[in-house]
Amino acid sequence: MEGYLVFDMGGTGVKYAVCTGEGEIVKKGTCEAYPDDFDQLLESMGRIFDAQQKEYSLSGIAISSPGFVDQRRGIVHGLSALPCIHEFPVAKALSKRMGGLPIAMENDGNCGCLGEYWKGRGKGRQNVVTLVYGSGIGGGYVKEGKIGQTRRFCSSEFGFMPLIYENGRYRSWSSYSVVNTVNRFNEEQQKNLTGEELFWLAETDEKAREYIERFYYYMAAGCLSVSFAFDPDIILIGGAISRRPDLKARLEEKLVQLKQEDEAFGYSDTEVDTAALGNDANLYGALYNFLYLERCKLEG
């Protein structure tokens, strides 16, 4: 079978999949990541390539990568959980290890957004934003089916936005990620809760409820900021938080509250929802990116 090998690189592991050109995942798995040793990371991914090449006729390699990705030069800038891939032609090295096959890399947040645009809840929309909640807040922006390559390749790093002003200083939006919210609660209350446990506790504990209310408030404030900056058709919330059945209702409740605080906020009518593809979003998006770039080459 002809197919494509897709990797989603992260600091704790590398997901991979063999996909058809229509985006069907026919096989997937994981391999070990080596954040500080590129030679070992290259060999770990190379062994996956060797095994899949024996079973499938591979036409290309698609990669979702952390960091600020310069697609044209195949170089990753900025900071990420995989420091060993930064500031050298990493795409060229990967392609050489994998038989010289064509390769395309894109930022993982952008890949997640492309995946939702192609196969998830963004399907059929022209302009889509995803916000991925975890240790920080990442995301992506797809405009009419493609990612815009900006000057420093970091146009969708929403978590870096100075959204919050507390105690005489600005804080980034990521300071109210799930992980950072629970870390602050644990430090203040001398607890050792997980994020999920904090949300459960908020149903009965006033202090925990205060933290969760603030979490949703800043999620809504960030969504409004993104809405006015990009005017997307839909904003999709991803990460483990997206599995909470009440997330959409709680977010919409806070959006209504904010729109009552300032008349200008009411001019945002962007739809919000949860992302649909879970851990596979980056795989779908990386493949879409590869296929899109290959099509652009053929069309000149």
Q: pLDDT tens for residues 140-187?
A: 999 999 998 788 888 888 999 999 998 899 999 999 999 999 999 999
pLDDT of residue 48: 98
68 pLDDT more than 90: yes
- Segment 251-272 shows an average pLDDT of 97
- Segment 288-294 shows an average pLDDT of 97
**Phi/psi class of residue 17: alpha, beta or left (left: φ > 0; alpha: ψ in -120 to 50)?**
beta
- Segment 65-70 shows an average pLDDT of 95
- Nearest C-alpha neighbor of 138 from the set 243, 82, 67: 67
pLDDT of residue 95: 98
- Nearest C-alpha neighbor of 49 from the set 5, 2, 112: 5
Residues with Cβ within 8 Å of 230's Cβ and at least 6 positions away in sequence, in order, are: 127, 129, 141, 143
- Total-model pTM: 0.94
Q: How many CB atoms lie within 10 A of CB 115?
A: 32
Cβ atoms of 111 and 8 closer than 8 Å: yes
Cβ atoms of 12 and 33 closer than 8 Å: yes
Strand-pair category, 164-166 with 137-143 = unpaired
pLDDT of residue 153: 86
Cβ atoms of 125 and 230 closer than 8 Å: no
Q: Which helix or strand (DSSP H or E) is residue 58 part of?
A: strand 57-65
Cβ atoms of 286 and 100 closer than 8 Å: no
Please, what are the domains in the chain?
2-106 (3.30.420.40), 121-276 (3.30.420.40)
In 161-210, where do the E strands start and end?
164-166, 169-171
Q: How many CA atoms lie within 13 A of 246 on its CB side?
A: 9
Torsion of CA 46, 48, 54, 55, to 10 degrees: -150
89 is written with which tokens? Answer: 């032609």
Cβ atoms of 154 and 78 closer than 8 Å: yes
**DSSP single-letter state for residue 21:** T
**Angstrom distance (rounded) from CA 50 to CA 38:** 18
Strand-pair category, 234-238 with 75-77 = unpaired
- Segment 40-68 shows an average pLDDT of 97
Q: What distances in angstroms separate CA 298 from CA 13, 153, 284, one per listed residue? A: 34, 25, 21
Cβ atoms of 213 and 253 closer than 8 Å: no
Separation of first and last alpha carbons in the chain? 28
In angstroms and rounded to an integer, the radius of gyration of the C-alpha atoms of the chain is: 20
Q: Which amino acid, 232?
A: P
